[in-house]
Structure 1
Amino acid sequence: MSWRTKPFLVLLLTLIGHSLPARAGTADPLLASIRKAGQAKVALGSAPPYIAVSPDGKATGYVIEVIDLALKGMGLPALAPVLTAWDAQIPGLQAHQFDFSGANVITEARCKAVLFTAPFYAMRDALYVLPGNPKHLTGFSELARSPEIKLAVVRGSSQEAYALKKGLTPERLVLVTDIQAGAATVIGHRADAFAVGQFTIVAPEQKGLEVVVDEQAPPAWVGCGIS
């Protein structure tokens, strides 16, 4: 698979302490637009503690810290968060509603729609289930062979696409708007499992959940989408 990347926020280099590219001083149209606006408009989905936006509009979390470091290193204005549903981020980038997205799984289909930065973390998909894993679920392939199982996924997510690719029918999917809603569907017995990245829900046992990593799922790389 060939993934297009654009050296705008070279976040991977920021994380390991290397110098950011000299491109920050060039006449790149996106950089020029951000400087003119005096802010970098960033689409953010709710994924605490990695991404959180408070009622007063303040963004916090690991992803925010990484983006802030990259923006500062390139001499660019501060991040201006735009709380955006996950399934609206790629269409919003295509419509130039914001400058980039905070964190999206990089897929071949998405790379045909927008550009991406270098990835800044990787994960595998996982199933969040009730404690003790009462349905003995291990991954997407098994789900496809168990027609009675309902799976919650965030609408428009890479997990939704992967579930359909593995053979789950649309009527077996419970579509939710965000991570918190996905967890609630399992806790409330409206779905048997919630599919999302393995690190997405921190301390799941404290929330009444257990995580089962799908060892057969391909690694997922996460980066920022760019308009």
Structure 2
Amino acid sequence: MRVTIAYIEEPPFGWTEADGTAMGADIELAELILRQIGVDRIEHCLTTFSELLPGVAAGRWDMNVPLFVTPQRADVVAFSLPVWGIEDGFLVGAGNPKALTSYSSIANSPDARLGIIWGQVQHDSATASGVSEEKIVIFEQQADAVAAVLSGAIDAYASTALGNRMIASRMGSSMIEAVAHEPHTSEGLRTPPLGAFSFDRENVDLLKAFNLGLLSYLGTPDHRARMARFGLTDREIDPAVMKAS
């Protein structure tokens, strides 16, 4: 049985090595579960974020790497059990010169500009916090958004806090800085946004088998150890385990 996984360039979740090999936390988890359920041929398809949902829905590939689960997306694809829960954060210039620590801080800054990848949930989060469309710059690729931060074309790039930490660590604090959003003090403890693999809604058998594999594997010592290599800790894993149990 062959399964094709679509992914995007977004370390530590997925990226392409120099030799063309697909790597990343989500890639490794998908491959492990697929092999457990009897898939003997796994292929990878690099795409853009905007093509993930329409691509899998049209049958151009069999499954997508995880993305945040929303009701609107669930109308288009079938989601697996969640595999991580991660809050948003910013990438900003070294020293965070405009002191941007939340979407509200962008909204309240007279001239701050925010970069977001087309179609990602950060756009809705930003506008819900009062960020005007005039302050938002849309990109197709993460690399372009990061380059815009470095050049000063935008003041912050919104993505997952975890992914931003990985980028900042790789590039160095003298060039770029990852900023965690201020805690949601008015909400108390809350479940962070959850991410899950997605499938064509007609691909019921694969989704069912994949979920059974996830159910027996998520939260195990092997799962936690593998994900730790990519920077995912109990903080990101436990919300998904609790939701799946």
Aligned partner of 1:159 among 117, 122, 135: 122
Looking at structure 2, the residues matched to 154 and 53 of structure 1 have their Cα atoms a distance apart, in angstroms, of: 19
Aligned to 2:37: 74
Which of 94, 98, 101 matches 2:61?
Answer: 98
1:121 pairs with one of 79, 84, 105:
84
The worse-fitting range, judged by mean Cα deviation, of 55-64 and 117-126 is 55-64
The one of 144, 157, 179 equivalent to 1:212 is 179
Residue 171 of structure 1: how far off its partner (Å):
2.4
Mapping 1:8-27, distance limit 5 Å: none
Per the TM alignment, residue 56 of structure 1 is displaced from its structure 2 partner at its CA by 5.4
In structure 1, C-alpha distance between the alignment counterparts of 2:3 and 2:177, rounded to whole Å: 37
Report the secondary structure of 1:117's partner residue.
Answer: strand
Counterpart among 187, 192, 203 of residue 150 in structure 2? 187
Question: Using the alignment, how far apart are the partners of 1:206 and 1:195 within structure 2?
Answer: 17
Q: Deviations over 1:199-218 (max 9, x none)?
A: 11315155221111122397
TM-score of the two chains, using structure 1 as the length reference = 0.77
Kept in 2, the 8 Å contact 1:71–1:78? The answer is: no
- Shift of residue 179 of structure 1? 2.0
% identical equivalent positions:
26
Aligned length, in residue pairs: 190
**Aligned partners of 1:78 and 1:136: how far apart in 2?**
48
Instruction: Tell me how far 1:54 sits from its aligned partner.
Output: 4.0
RMSD: 1.9
- Equivalents in 1 of 2:55, 2:170: separation in Å? 35
Residues 144 and 166 in structure 1, CA contact (< 8 A), matched pair in contact too? yes
Return the structure number with greater helix share: 2
Contact 2:11 2:167 in 1 (8 A): no
**Counterpart in the other structure of 1:44:** 7
**Structure 2 residue runs without a partner (length 5+):** 201-245
The superposition leaves residues 36-86 of structure 1 with CA deviations (integer Å, 9 ceiling, x where unpaired) of xxx211111111343112465421122111111100110113321111100
Q: Please state if 1:109 is matched with 2:72.
A: yes
| Contact 1:131 1:205 survives alignment (8 Å) | no
Q: Distance in 2 between matches of 1:174 and 1:79?
A: 36
1:47 aligns to what SS in structure 2?
coil
Whichever residue aligns with residue 161 of structure 1, its letter is D
Distance in 1 of aligned mates of 2:70 and 2:28: 24
Matched, 1:132 2:106: no
Which amino acid in structure 2 is aligned with residue 89 of structure 1?
L
Q: Secondary structure at the match of 2:162?
A: coil
Task: Please tell me whether the aligned partners of residues 85 and 195 of structure 2 are also in contact (alpha carbons under 8 angstroms).
Answer: yes
Shift of 1:165: 2.5
Structure 1 pair 213–96 and aligned structure 2 pair: CA distance change class (3 A): same
For normalisation by structure 2, the TM-score amounts to 0.72
Which 5+ residue runs of structure 1 have no aligned equivalent? 1-34
SS of 1:103's equivalent in the other structure is strand
Deviation track 1:135-189 (CA, whole Å, cap 9, x = no partner) reads 0111012222224110011111111222223222222111112222221111110
Query: Which of the residues 132, 135, 153 maps onto 1:169?
Result: 132
